[in-house]
Amino acid sequence: MKVILNIFITFMKIGAFSFGGGLAMLPFIEKEMVYNHHWITSNEFVDIIAIAQMTPGPIAINSSTFVGYKAAGVKGALAGSIGVVITSFVLITILAKYFMKIKDARATKAVFKGIRPAVLGLILSAAISIGKTALIDFNSIIIAVIVFFSLKRLRFHPILGIVLAGVLGVVLY
């Protein structure tokens, strides 16, 4: 029961203090799951991100469900999933009424202008962290470059990029 409560509180903290969506949460999730609690390894973290990106739903829910399940089974999955959304759900429910009144205020706009670059920094931090684990040899670098080029230059759909990466993995490994 202690592990389940710990999973709930940890993911509640992640959900409460992460701005910018699931990708911006990744450094926080990695620090808590890999380094603070040792519920998963760095390699498992990268695998979770890959799985969470391929499955329907937000990355935060998918990753919290997976980590919770790995750490404590179905109860851990429920604790992680509920924990990561509960604070945001409560805050948004309460603030939605008031936000419409202050959304055009100069201070509100200034806050969001300050948060945007921070979110980019969090996403870049996650990309570097994942890159250290995912880019393990020349073949993995080739796959990353081909998929990036396909998405940005050829305008492939991200799902097609994932499929392409899987095919390249089979061919190159």
pLDDT, averaged in runs of 10, over the chain (173 residues):
94 81 80 92 88 82 90 95 91 84 91 90 86 92 96 93 94 95
Buried-exposed string 155-170: b where 16+ CB fall within 10 A, e elsewhere:
ebeeeebeebbeebee
Length of the chain: 173
Residue with structure tokens 């962290």?
129
First and final C-alpha spacing in the chain: 42
Please report the pLDDT score of residue 160 as a whole number: 92
Residue 103 carries which DSSP code?
Answer: T
Please report the pLDDT score of residue 19 as a whole number: 65
Please report the pLDDT score of residue 114 as a whole number: 93
Look at residue 39 and give its three-state secondary structure: coil
Query: Are 2 and 70 spatial neighbours (Cβ–Cβ below 8 Å)?
Result: no
Please report the pLDDT score of residue 140 as a whole number: 96
Distance CA 56, CA 160 (A): 15
Count the neighbouring beta carbons within 10 Å of the beta carbon of residue 147. Answer: 19
Please report the pLDDT score of residue 20 as a whole number: 64
Does this model's pTM top 0.75?
no
Buried-exposed string 91-100: b where 16+ CB fall within 10 A, e elsewhere:
eeeeeeeeee
Please report the pLDDT score of residue 22 as a whole number: 72
